[in-house]
């Protein structure tokens, strides 16, 4: 049996090319020219787009250069200002280091700041001794605080009504006349060139306290000032003034106890016991007795702790004969009688208030 011939593979179909995708070749010169025009227009559009982007990039680059130049100018200006500020700071520090000083302000008219008798009673010599002692004590106080304490200039200003102080000292028997006190102040001022005693005169508005406040406000603004030692009445230091002062540069001198309003502030406090007369000790009421028509009056003096004002208390006291009569009768009225309760107490307060206490009734009259 004859073998069958091998079968040939089926033919692979060839996809037909769409006639729409086949570009048509131009057949005429005009068609070919039209195609060239289209290409030229596309090329010009591309060039225009590239030129536009280039111009925008150049504009940004120019602005960036301007900004960079401006920042460089600002940086150079700041650098110049920093250098100038450092130079000014160095010059100021050198200027401050030339003549730094410590100021001592003393209101000699204030309570507690009267100089000791060993100085006042010795005229000009006493004034010189006071100046030497004050200089020594101030430097001793400054040494723990400043390394250059011994080279600091010490300026002292003492303000006082010289005539009024002389009248007081004459009454106290410490000087004989104004001339002795004037010699004392002259010796104080002449001993050390930077020490001055300023006589504010009589009847000046504000007195020595005003002078102290004005000097304090003026000198605390000085760049040469290192410290202030202040001796004045607390009443001369209002809160409006203290709020404007560098309290870390101020030391208060204390003789009488300072009020809480000052002791609670961040301010230094010290004493100079060798300079000022110590305050007198507190006195207990001392009775002063007298007779008037068979009755005794007791007069006592009491100090008001708030303001140091004086109270006068007048108390009638039973006479010895009346008291003896009661003892001789062998009785004592435990319940008391109207006569016993009729004792009269009259008090005159610091604000001129009069209080009358008769034992049963109390009246207060302004």
Q: What is the pLDDT of residues 184-227, one digit of tens each?
A: 999 999 999 999 999 988 765 668 888 898 999 899 888 889 99
Give dist(CA 177, CA 170) in Å, integer: 6
**Is residue 303 assigned to a domain?**
yes
Same domain, 92 and 201: no
**Is residue 22 assigned to a domain?**
no
Sheet containing strand 362-365, edge to edge, reads 288-292, 295-303, 310-317, 345-348, 354-357, 362-365
Beta strands in 1-95 (DSSP E): none
pLDDT of 316 > 80? The answer is no
Same domain, 54 and 123: no
pLDDT band at 23 (very low <50, low <70, confident <90, very high): low
Q: What per-residue confidence (pLDDT) applies to 42?
A: 87
**Is residue 18 assigned to a domain?**
no
Same domain, 354 and 265: no
Q: What per-residue confidence (pLDDT) applies to 263?
A: 86
pLDDT digits (tens, 9 = 90+) for 77-132: 898 889 988 888 877 767 766 789 999 999 998 888 999 999 999 999 999 999 99
Domain boundary among 79, 97, 115: 97
Same domain, 144 and 192: yes
**Is residue 282 assigned to a domain?**
no
Q: What per-residue confidence (pLDDT) applies to 189?
A: 94
Beta-ladder partners of 252:
230, 269
The mean per-residue pLDDT over the stretch 259-287 comes to: 79
pLDDT of 353 > 90? The answer is no
Beta-ladder partners of 196:
157
Nearest by Cα to 207 from 236, 186, 178, 231: 236
**Is residue 347 assigned to a domain?**
yes
Number of domains the chain contains: 3
Domain boundary among 97, 132, 147: 97
pLDDT band at 139 (very low <50, low <70, confident <90, very high): very high
The mean per-residue pLDDT over the stretch 56-75 comes to: 90
Same domain, 227 and 106: yes
What share of the chain in percent tops pLDDT 90?
29
pLDDT of 361 > 50? The answer is no
Nearest by Cα to 230 from 268, 284, 263, 203: 268
pTM of the model: 0.55
pLDDT band at 347 (very low <50, low <70, confident <90, very high): low
Same domain, 357 and 318: yes
Domain boundary among 226, 242, 270: 270
Beta-ladder partners of 356:
346, 363
Same domain, 295 and 317: yes
Same domain, 92 and 109: no
Q: What per-residue confidence (pLDDT) applies to 240?
A: 82
pLDDT of 24 > 50? The answer is yes
Structure tokens at 180: 């002795």
How far is residue 127 from each of residues 90, 108, 251, measured CA to CA in Å? 41, 14, 24
Same domain, 107 and 92: no
pLDDT of 35 > 50? The answer is yes
Give dist(CA 25, CA 41) in Å, integer: 20
Q: What per-residue confidence (pLDDT) applies to 231?
A: 92
**Is residue 275 assigned to a domain?**
no
Give dist(CA 96, CA 225) in Å, integer: 8
**Is residue 279 assigned to a domain?**
no
Tokens 């008090």 sit on residue? 347
Same domain, 263 and 293: no
**Is residue 20 assigned to a domain?**
no
What share of the chain in percent tops pLDDT 70?
67
pLDDT band at 238 (very low <50, low <70, confident <90, very high): confident
pLDDT digits (tens, 9 = 90+) for 150-174: 889 999 999 999 998 999 999 988 9
The mean per-residue pLDDT over the stretch 305-312 comes to: 42
pLDDT band at 236 (very low <50, low <70, confident <90, very high): confident
Same domain, 181 and 302: no
Q: Give the chain's mean pLDDT.
A: 76
Domain assignment of residue 313, given as a range: 288-325+342-365
Same domain, 77 and 136: no
Q: What per-residue confidence (pLDDT) applies to 131?
A: 95
């Amino acid at each position: 049996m004859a073998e069958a011939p091998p079968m040939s593979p089926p033919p692979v179909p060839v996809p037909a090319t769409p006639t729409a995708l086949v570009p048509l070749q131009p057949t005429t010169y005009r068609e070919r020219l039209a195609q060239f025009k289209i290409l030229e227009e596309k090329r010009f559009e591309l060039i225009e787009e590239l030129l536009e982007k280039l111009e925008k990039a150049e504009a940004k680059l120019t602005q960036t250069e301007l900004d960079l130049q401006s920042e460089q100018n600002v940086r150079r200006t700041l650098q110049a200002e920093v250098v100038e500020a450092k130079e000014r700071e160095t010059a100021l520090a050198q200027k401050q280091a030339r003549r730094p000083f410590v100021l001592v302000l003393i209101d000699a008219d204030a309570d507690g700041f009267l100089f000791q008798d060993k100085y006042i009673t010795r005229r000009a010599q006493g004034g010189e001794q006071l100046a030497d002692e004050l200089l020594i004590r101030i430097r001793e106080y400054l040494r723990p605080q400043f390394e250059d304490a011994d080279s600091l200039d010490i300026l002292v200003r003492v303000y006082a009504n010289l005539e009024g102080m002389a009248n007081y000292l004459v009454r106290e028997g410490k000087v004989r006349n104004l001339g002795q006190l004037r010699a004392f102040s002259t010796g104080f001022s002449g001993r050390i060139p930077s020490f001055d005693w300023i006589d504010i005169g009589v009847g000046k508005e504000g007195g020595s306290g005003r002078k102290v406040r004005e000097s304090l406000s003026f000198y605390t603004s000085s760049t040469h000032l290192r410290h202030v030692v202040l001796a004045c009445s607390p009443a001369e230091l209002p809160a409006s003034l203290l709020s404007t002062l560098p309290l870390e540069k101020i030391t208060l001198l204390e003789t009488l106890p300072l009020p809480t309003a000052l002791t609670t502030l961040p301010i230094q406090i010290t004493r100079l016991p060798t300079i000022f007369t110590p305050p007198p000790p507190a006195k207990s009421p001392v009775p002063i007795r007298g007779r008037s028509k068979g009755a005794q009056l007791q007069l006592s003096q009491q100090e008001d702790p708030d303001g140091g004002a004086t109270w006068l208390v007048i108390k009638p006291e039973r006479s010895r004969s009346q008291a003896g009569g009661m003892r001789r009768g062998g009785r004592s009225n435990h319940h008391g009688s109207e006569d016993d309760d009729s004792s009269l107490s009259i008090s005159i307060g610091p604000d001129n208030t009069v209080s009358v206490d008769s034992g049963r009734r109390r009246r207060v009259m302004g």
